[in-house]
Amino acid sequence: MSNKNRGNLPKSEEAWLRGLTDGHDEWKKVQEQEKALFMAKKGLHLQLAQKRKVLADLEAEINVVGNKIRIYSEKISTDIPKTDLLCSPPKSGDFTLS
């Protein structure tokens, strides 16, 4: 192919001979990358949603256990006898010799 013949070729064929493209293949690659990015974001959002659900479930379980502990502790603290009688210092009349 001579330079004279190249001048008569359409621009797309002349560009093809020089190794240039019309950008169609590059545009396809960009679109594929956009799809891959979208799918990656969607997957990440799904993972985050699953982790949020697990955390919410754990929080609910912790609240239930905390309430059980609080209720049990209130029950126990009302059933304990007054310890101040056991720990109070002796009074002068407490030690009498018989």
Assigned domain for 91 exists:
no
35 residue type, one letter: K
The answer to whether position 56 is within a domain reads yes
Per-residue tokens: 3 = 């330079």
Amino acid at 22: D
Q: Quick: pLDDT tens for 4-38.
A: 666 666 776 666 666 666 677 788 899 999 999 99
Which tokens hold the place of 4? Answer: 């004279």
In a domain, 51, yes or no: yes
Q: Number of folded domains in the chain?
A: 1
Is residue 61 assigned to a domain? yes
Residue 43 has pLDDT above 70, yes or no: yes
Kindly give the residue spans of alpha helices, DSSP state H, lying in the chain.
Answer: 3-8, 11-17, 24-79, 84-87
Is the overall model pTM greater than 0.85, yes or no?
Answer: no
Indicate whether 87 pLDDT > 70: no
Q: Does residue 96 sit within a domain?
A: no
pLDDT tens track for 56-84: 999 999 999 999 998 888 888 776 656 55
Q: Would you say residue 90 lies in a domain?
A: no
Whole domain around residue 38: which residue ranges? 11-75
- Share of residues in the chain with pLDDT > 90 (%): 41
Looking at residue 59, its pLDDT comes to: 95
22 assigned to some structural domain: yes
Residue 85 forms part of a structural domain: no
